[in-house]
Amino acid sequence: MITNTPQVPSSASVSKLMLHVGYALVPGTLAYVWLFGVGVLVQILLACVTAIITEGLILALRKRPVAQTLSDGSALLTAVLLALAISPIAPWWIIVLGTAFAILFGKQIYGGIGYNPFNPAMLGYVMLLISFPLEMTNWPAAFSLLEQTPTLQTSLDVIFNSGLGVDTVSGATPFDAIRTQLAQGLDIPATLISSDYGELFGALAGVGWEVVSIGFLLGGVYLLLTGRIAWQIPTAMLGTIAILASVFYLIDSTQYISPLLHLFGGASMLGAFFIATDPVSAATTPRGRIYYGIGIGVLTFVIRTWGGYPEGLAFAVLLMNMAAPTIDHYTRPTVFGQGKG
Amino acid sequence: MKTASHKVFNFHGGLLLDEHKSISTSKQIEQAPIPAMLVLPLSQHIGVAAKPCVAIGDNVLKGQLIAKADGRVSVPVHASSSGKVVAIEKRHVPHPSQLKSECIVIETDGRDSPVEAEYTGLTNYHSLSTDELRQRIQDAGIVGLGGAGFPSHLKLKPNGHHVDTLILNAAECEPYISCDDMLMREQAPAIISGLRIMQQALHAKNCMIGIEDNKVEAFAALQTAIDDSDDSDDIEIVRVPTRYPAGGERQLIYSLTGKQAPSQGRPLDIGIVCHNVGTAAAVHNAIIEGKPLLSRVVTLTGSGIPQPRNMHVLLGTPIDDLLEHCRANRDDIGRTMIGGPMMGFVIDSTTAPITKTTNCVLVTHQRDVKKPETALPCIRCGECADVCPVNLLPQQLYWYAHSQEFDHIQDYNLFDCIECGCCDVVCPSRIPLVQYFRFSKTTIWQQEKDTEKSNKARQRHELRLERLEREKIEKRERHNRKKAALKKEPDKSEDPKKAAILAAMKRVKDKQVATNISPANTENLSAEQQRKIDEANARRAEQNKDKNGS
């Protein structure tokens, strides 16, 4: 079995792929740390340690090669993505619980990398969001942090001592604010200039959020240009969100969020380039990936606009994960010689 | 020649690979020495093996027919040098299965004395009918020299199709292999001449030569040869971008014409026939020179060969002899392969000979043989689908191959896979995809064979049951008829048994009367005879009494 063709040296490897995805996360993450505090790094660290311990433990229980499997980097990537998705001031047990859940129930229970039908990070995120809505929606406001950057000590206090004695301005995300205000009958232009929330919004979208989004966009473009992710999913997803948002914004700009805010105010960029493109749980045919991206775009927009949660991306990804096998089945490419010659 | 640059169509996928070709193209093709032993397999082609027509101990001459073609889908084998047949037995042959196969072994005498050809070459082959051309090509033992080894005369028969274009495959896209390249550089006129002969056999309207754009010298040589031949308006030479597998038959046809040969059919179905340049040269030698196929150009290359090169090698030359000739250090050899690194196969025994389809012997130094890596699970990244020249979904095929779901894998067009190996090379999980596909194909073939077998057995069994049933019914009917016949006779005594006995006795009597034969001569006796019989009976009774008494 082992001595057969092709016998051509190849440098492709899963760990290399994961490593480059990790590199691509750097600009967005740095911006995130700069604008939202060093707490982000604490969360990432907590997530990584939890992921390694959980995955290592399960692998040992399943009698699988621990070191080799851990070195593929996929568990770490899941951990980092989940850490980036939760609030930097969430208590420590949130990220520990979420990461352990993601690794255990999102991945290992199905047989480990390659066999998970759902994106593990998003599964962990949704579990946390449903179980602990308060902790999950309490975000620091970037503008206040700009004035008074929290030290490592304050961040640790917030995360490990539930913020006792720490005076951090915390509040809602831009989407949250608009949703709350709309529910109270205040339209969007009014919210953007209101005394309570006006400071949340910047030139493009939300203060801080827009810079972080641009960081993730840069990383995503790097992955696209180096051919490490397929172009179809992010293009279709962002395109769909942009088109839908524009149409509704043009219909009624007082009730619908602007396309720019949609693209740069939430998790769109992180989701489009780093979460929806997780190959294991995504559609795998070229045409299928377009439908998959469109599906995530539509669902994200629908949930953000009319759903019960301010950010619908995680739900959209999980729902499309379920649809991926069916999409693949119906989008098989025409095999050479079977089409019209 | 048409000068306008031809549009080239790009096939899906493919890979840019390190070529490693220039290491073997620096010197001219060298003549390999006559080996002490020639091992000539009877099956060097696809189809029925040739039948030996020499016996052990026979002296044979160079070019002599030693095994005849067995039917239409077969080609003969000729002695590639003079000597004595010393064995007809199973030997190692270059085949991925590593199994031995029937060979004629000739101990050479070094004189290389040629046989008188059964027909001589002719320059004016135009007078030959297409059937005669094909016959001569079959008699010369020519098969596709690109590697597949399909008998060429069959591929030169249009079978009622109109052949629009004859394509000469000069792409040679596999890394390391350079035998076609060197042949084109050195024997371009012969190739063009062979192309013309093939064109006539097929009544092809146009000819195209597809060559990868990395073969600059070969391209120039072919172009010169075309320009030098008269009336060359219908030959077009097209450079295709160097991208593996540009030389795959269907890929090349698409690159040149934009037409896709149907997946379950042949290129002939769309009016195209494709031959290798080496085959064209062999056809030229057979028709113009009257020489059967006795040697071929072989690339000896790889890090295990001190000076990689191309050689004219007599068919049947053991690979060992070539390695020795090239001064390859046996202890350094890590792996010997036949063919290129993408689609070739590893051989265990280097005693195997060069055959008609051996285009390359790739010897890798042991320091360059990497240990196989453990495959990780597929992450469905889809890189494989991006490079697949047939537009398959290898990640899905792998899924079904892994779980041995052979129905599904065929839905995903497993049998369209050309095993080019592109998917293997790009797989980040290092899954040996092609091996999974080969395994699945052979398993499915085996299953089909088994099904066929069991179908036949079942049919046989059903027929037997049917026969038994029929016999039973016939027996019963016979019985009933008999019964009915008996019943018809009026029965006086009412006892059916008695009546049957009576009837039987009557029948016997009737028969006796009819045939006039008496059962014994005890009737119509004379008085004298009767007396003698009585006496004899009395004597016998007396004896029996004594016997019983004693």
Residue pLDDT, tens place only, B115-133: 876 667 787 888 889 999 9
CA distance B174 to chain A (A): 11
- pLDDT for B496: 75
- Over residues B154-208, the pLDDT tens digits come to 999 988 889 999 999 999 999 999 999 999 999 999 999 999 999 999 999 999 9
Confidence at residue B2, expressed as pLDDT on a 0 to 100 scale: 47
Least confident span in A240-249, B162-171, B227-236: B227-236
* Mean confidence (pLDDT) of chain B: 89
Q: Give all strands of the β-sheet with B100-108 in edge-to-edge order.
A: B37-41, B100-108, B83-92, B59-60
Spatial separation of the C-alpha atoms in residues A27 and A29, rounded to whole Å: 5
What pLDDT score does B29 carry? 94
Cβ-count burial B501-522 (b if 16+ within 10 Å, e if not) = eeeeeeeeeeeeeeeeeeeeee
CA distance A85 to A78: 11
Spatial neighbors of B92 by CB under 8 A, at least 6 apart, are: B98, B100, B347, B349, B351, B352
CB pair distance less than 8 Å for A335 and B392: yes
CA dist A315 and B432 (Å) reads 36
Nearest-Cα distance to chain B for A113, in Å, is 7
Least trusted range by pLDDT, from A115-124, A221-230, B111-120: B111-120
Report yes or no: B380 and B386 within 8 Å, Cβ to Cβ.
no
**Closest residue, chain B, to A334 (C-alpha):** B391
Q: What is the pLDDT of residue A277?
A: 94
Q: Hey, which bits of A107-256 come out as E strands?
A: 139-140, 170-171
Which domains, and CATH codes, for chain B?
A: 22-347 (3.40.50.11540), 371-510 (1.10.1060)
Q: How confident is the model at residue A165 (pLDDT cuts 50, 70, 90)?
A: very low
Asked if B255 is an interface residue toward chain A (Cβ–Cβ < 8 A), one would say: no
Mean predicted confidence (pLDDT) in B341-358: 92
Average pLDDT, chain A: 86
pLDDT of amino acid A171:
62
Scanning every residue of chain B, which has its alpha carbon at the shortest distance from the alpha carbon of A69?
Answer: B376
Six token digits for residue B218: 């070969």
pLDDT score at A144 = 56
Contacts of A339 in chain B (CB under 8 A): 260
User: Do B437 and B395 touch, CB atoms closer than 8 A?
Assistant: no
Assign A209 a pLDDT band (cuts: 50, 70, 90).
Answer: confident
The pLDDT value given to residue B541: 78
B175 Cβ under 8 Å from any chain A Cβ = yes
Of B281, B353, B292, B298, the residue nearest B32 (C-alpha): B298
Could you give the CA distance from residue B398 to residue B81 in angstroms, rounded to a whole number?
Answer: 48
Average pLDDT over residues B510-531: 69
Could you say which residues from 94 to 133 on chain A have a Cβ atom under 8 Å away from some Cβ of chain B?
111-115
Cβ atoms of B144 and B71 closer than 8 Å: no
pLDDT score of B231: 74
Distance from the Cα of A10 to chain B's closest Cα (Å) equals: 6
What residue type is assigned to position B469 of the chain? E
* Strand (E) or helix (H) holding B60: strand B59-60
Q: Of B55-59, B389-393, B448-452, B484-488, which gets the smallest average pLDDT?
A: B484-488
* Distance from the Cα of residue B176 to its chain's centroid: 26
| Chain A, nearest residue to B389 by Cα | A336
User: Which has the minimum average pLDDT: A141-145, B257-261, B340-344, B425-429?
Assistant: A141-145
Q: Which of B394, B382, B424, B13 is nearest to A280 (CA)?
A: B382
Residue-wise pLDDT tens digits, A10-59 = 878 888 999 999 999 999 999 988 888 888 999 999 999 999 999 999 99
Contact check, Cβ <8 Å, B335/A341: no
Coil, strand, or helix at residue B235? strand
Q: pTM for the complete prediction?
A: 0.82
B96 class by beta-carbon count within 10 Å (0-12 exposed, 13-18 middle, 19+ buried): middle
Q: Which amino acid is at A213?
A: S
Is the minimum CB–CB distance between A332 and chain B shorter than 8 Å? Answer: yes
Task: Report pLDDT for B1.
Answer: 45
Cα A202 → chain centroid: 22
List the single residue in B270, B379, B425 with the smallest CB-CB distance to A8. Answer: B425
Taking a C-beta distance cutoff of 8 angstroms, is the pair A167, A233 a contact? Answer: no
**B337 touching chain A per CB within 8 A:** yes
- The C-alpha angle A255, A261, A262, rounded to 5 degrees, equals 85
Q: Which one has a higher pLDDT value, A124 or A205? A: A124
Can you tell me the mean pLDDT for B356-367? 93
Q: Are B341 and B176 in contact (CB under 8 A)?
A: yes
Cα A297 to Cα A244: distance, rounded to the nearest angstrom: 9
Question: CA of B255: how far to CAs of A307, B11, B39, B148, B250, in Å?
Answer: 52, 6, 39, 20, 9
C-alpha–C-alpha distance, residues B299 and B354, integer Å: 11
CA distance B136 to B391: 40
pLDDT of residue B519: 52
The pLDDT of residue B109: 93
- Taking residue A305's Cβ as centre, other Cβ atoms within 10 Å add up to 17
State what percent of residues in chain B have pLDDT above 70: 94
Cα dihedral: A114, A118, A123, A126 (round 10): 160
Q: Give the span between the Cα atoms of B287 and B292, in whole angstroms.
A: 9
Sign of CA dihedral B454, B455, B458, B464: negative
